[in-house]
Chain A
Amino acid sequence: MATAAVGLRAGAARFEANTATRDPVWVKGLVLFLGLAFFSLFLLLPLIAVFVEAFRRGWGVYIAALVEPDAVSAIKLTLLTAAIAVPLNLVFGIAVAWAITKFDFRGKQMLITFIDLPFSVSPVVAGLIYVLVFGAQGWFGPWLGEHGIKVIFAVPGIVLATVFVTFPFVARELIPLMQAQGRDEEEAALVLGASGWQMFRKVTLPNIKWALLYGVILCNARAMGEFGAVSVVSGHIRGLTNTMPLHVEILYNEYQFAAAFAVASLLATLALVTLAIKTYVEWKAAPSTPPAEAP
């Protein structure tokens, strides 16, 4: 079964016990050493550094950096942005997965390719395209200006850019799963007399809930952490159009390192919580893992 989640199936013992798949001890040692050294150098160390740098000047400075008004408004804007972008892409993800996996129509393959487009576009380009459409010199700029609506260098632009970069997350978790599940169960529900909404709520939703949650937390992490795209459309107006990652940048460029790392540590904590939930979901969603085998 192809689930989107990559679980850590308790299988290494099987390979180490088998004479045909067992590696010599020195090979195991070398692979582990190189792999883990690489892991420590490029992943573990940067993560630890965030927290060490954040607390370098003590708790007082740390707390002060987080309750300072500009920081608070950045946190609020980040939460607001995620609160709009994530539900929008959640609804889109379900709609597109439903259309693609439950029906046959022409152009389906192209649609699937289009979903991944935002992932392959540089975040900077993602920001740029909204400047071209809504900016002062853009397509709708003059019209928006006349009506006193600001999109670029304002909150709507930030939300739009965030929606763009987080666009595929939910959809790409749902599509392979729903493809594998097929249409039988929904058809059975209809045959048994369920309405469309009942079928969706009682049959489809329970089957996809873990993949849905998985997509949502990844979408949320990216929405809160996006930097490049938001940086282009934000205008960096302190207290107004700064999200947390942009606030980190400003503090860093002003050599307020401890404060920059303090705000960064909040984002790093968010990343760790995301990974924890993700690991939990993978564990929950992997039906092939026999519970007794957990070490």
Chain B
Amino acid sequence: MSIEVKNVRKSFGKFVALDDVSLDFPTGQLIALLGPSGCGKTTLLRIIAGLEYPDEGRILFDGYDASDRDVRERQVGFVFQHYALFRHMTVFENVAFGLRVKSKALRPPESEIRKRVEALLDLVQLGWLAHHYPAQLSGGQRQRIALARALAVEPRVLLLDEPFGALDAKVRKELRRWLRHLHDELHITSIFVTHDQDEALEVADRIVLMNKGHIEQVGSAQDVYERPATAFAYSFLGAVNRFAGHIDGSHLRVGDGAVRVADANARDGEEVVAFARPHELDILTGNSSEGIPAYVGRVLLSGATARVELTGKIGTNGHAESHHFEVEMTRQRLSDLDLQPGQPVRLTSDRLKVFPVARDG
């Protein structure tokens, strides 16, 4: 089922959770709503489910307006952050719940319920736990039971709120892969909320990056990571170096230093921030006037690459502020440079991405 979100606004008192959000979720995809806490991603998920109602705007399921439908009628599967398993019911009864509460006319016969619950428990590979109670399960098992319970009512869309948030690191990694695998089998439109970029990048077909009630960028994992559309997208995803300064002709001027920028994207003299990933920065030694001054800190070796930590003073002389940078380079390049701790160097890049401050989210 496809879902359209049209011009949705929602505030809680003075706090604006969603500010005119519009989105399309095509059928069959696995989509991540990614953003820091308080960005509105969970609110959006709950509005789609019908657990909250928007102040303005509409929700369309397959083109039909579902805005006024009650959560009970929307046929969505919702997996809660803390699973919300019914603790007085066995695993089997938990999964069967959605079928048992159907009205007489729609309720499948007991034998059919049994068959469906068993099939679902097999799907999540926990058939052997059918007669256990939730308290007897591990976190990862509860998560999978919660998923089986949501799938039992054959939902048209599956919504997951921070599905891996309460699990420890190892289980989380396993479950991610498992969820991706499950989705490839079922092909049900699925949306999950996460604040963990790795999770979003690894699992989702598409990522919706949100911040402060707005949508910053929508795209594939590769799009969002390699071509961030906004300053926020740049700083939220992956390791990044940030330079604040202004445009001076063809250069970005940061304190005493300056770097040539190819695509200025800003007016002359305008205040800007510029970003570069660690591997997009280079270190210059010797008396070059090009680049931003910094001092070499520690050098960390890992695998084929090396990371150099540097400290720089950015700002006017009186109000100099200490900044940390990170440069990633090959071992070969490192040994060519022959860096010493405390050595003054200059940082440069030919792939700086510049955003005017006014548009800095």
Q: Mark B46-84, 1 if CB is under 8 A from A, else 0.
A: 000011110000000000000000110000000000000
Give the chain B neighbours of A18 by CB distance below 8 A. 51
- A20 within 8 Å of B by Cβ? yes
- A18–B50 Cα distance when bound, in Å, is 10
- A197–B71 Cα distance when bound, in Å, is 59
Q: How large is the interface on B (under 10, 10 to 19, 20 to 34, 35 or more residues)?
A: under 10
Q: Mark B68-106, 1 if CB is under 8 A from A, else 0.
A: 001100000000000000000000000000000000000
- A20–B71 Cα distance when bound, in Å, is 8
- A19 within 8 Å of B by Cβ? yes
Q: How large is the interface on A (under 10, 10 to 19, 20 to 34, 35 or more residues)?
A: under 10
- A19–B70 Cα distance when bound, in Å, is 8
In whole Å, how far is A191's beta carbon from the nearest beta carbon of chain B?
30
Question: Which chain A residue has the least Cβ–Cβ distance from B53?
Answer: A19
Give the chain A neighbours of B52 by CB distance below 8 A. 19
Q: Mark A168-181, 1 if CB is under 8 A from B, else 0.
A: 00000000000000
- A19–B52 Cα distance when bound, in Å, is 7
Interface SS of chain B: helix, strand, loop or mixed?
A: loop
In whole Å, how far is B298's beta carbon from the nearest beta carbon of chain A?
35
Question: Which chain B residue has the least Cβ–Cβ distance from A18?
Answer: B51
Q: Which of A1-23 contact B (CB under 8 A)?
A: 18-20
In whole Å, how far is B361's beta carbon from the nearest beta carbon of chain A?
29
Give the chain A neighbours of B70 by CB distance below 8 A. 19
Give the chain B neighbours of A20 by CB distance below 8 A. 51, 71
- A20–B74 Cα distance when bound, in Å, is 13
- A20–B53 Cα distance when bound, in Å, is 12
- A18–B53 Cα distance when bound, in Å, is 9
- A19–B73 Cα distance when bound, in Å, is 12
- A18–B49 Cα distance when bound, in Å, is 13
- A19–B49 Cα distance when bound, in Å, is 11
Q: Which of B316-334 contact A (CB under 8 A)?
A: none
- A19–B74 Cα distance when bound, in Å, is 13
- A19–B51 Cα distance when bound, in Å, is 6
Give the chain B neighbours of A19 by CB distance below 8 A. 50-53, 70-71
- A19–B53 Cα distance when bound, in Å, is 9
- A18–B12 Cα distance when bound, in Å, is 13
- A18–B47 Cα distance when bound, in Å, is 12
Give the chain A neighbours of B50 by CB distance below 8 A. 19
Give the chain A neighbours of B53 by CB distance below 8 A. 19
In whole Å, how far is B347's beta carbon from the nearest beta carbon of chain A?
46
Q: Which of A168-210 contact B (CB under 8 A)?
A: none
Question: Which chain A residue has the least Cβ–Cβ distance from B70?
Answer: A19
- A280–B50 Cα distance when bound, in Å, is 40
Q: Mark B17-61, 1 if CB is under 8 A from A, else 0.
A: 000000000000000000000000000000000111100000000
- A18–B71 Cα distance when bound, in Å, is 11
- A72–B152 Cα distance when bound, in Å, is 73
In whole Å, how far is B243's beta carbon from the nearest beta carbon of chain A?
40
Give the chain A neighbours of B51 by CB distance below 8 A. 18-20
- A20–B51 Cα distance when bound, in Å, is 7
In whole Å, how far is A258's beta carbon from the nearest beta carbon of chain B?
54
In whole Å, how far is A275's beta carbon from the nearest beta carbon of chain B?
33
In whole Å, how far is B161's beta carbon from the nearest beta carbon of chain A?
14
Give the chain A neighbours of B71 by CB distance below 8 A. 19-20
- A25–B50 Cα distance when bound, in Å, is 20
Q: Mark B276-297, 1 if CB is under 8 A from A, else 0.
A: 0000000000000000000000
Q: Mark B145-188, 1 if CB is under 8 A from A, else 0.
A: 00000000000000000000000000000000000000000000
- A20–B46 Cα distance when bound, in Å, is 11
- A19–B71 Cα distance when bound, in Å, is 8
9 cross-chain CB contacts under 8 A: A18-B51, A19-B50, A19-B51, A19-B52, A19-B53, A19-B70, A19-B71, A20-B51, A20-B71
7 extra A-B contacts, CB within 8 A, seeds A19-B51, A19-B71: A18-B51, A19-B50, A19-B52, A19-B53, A19-B70, A20-B51, A20-B71
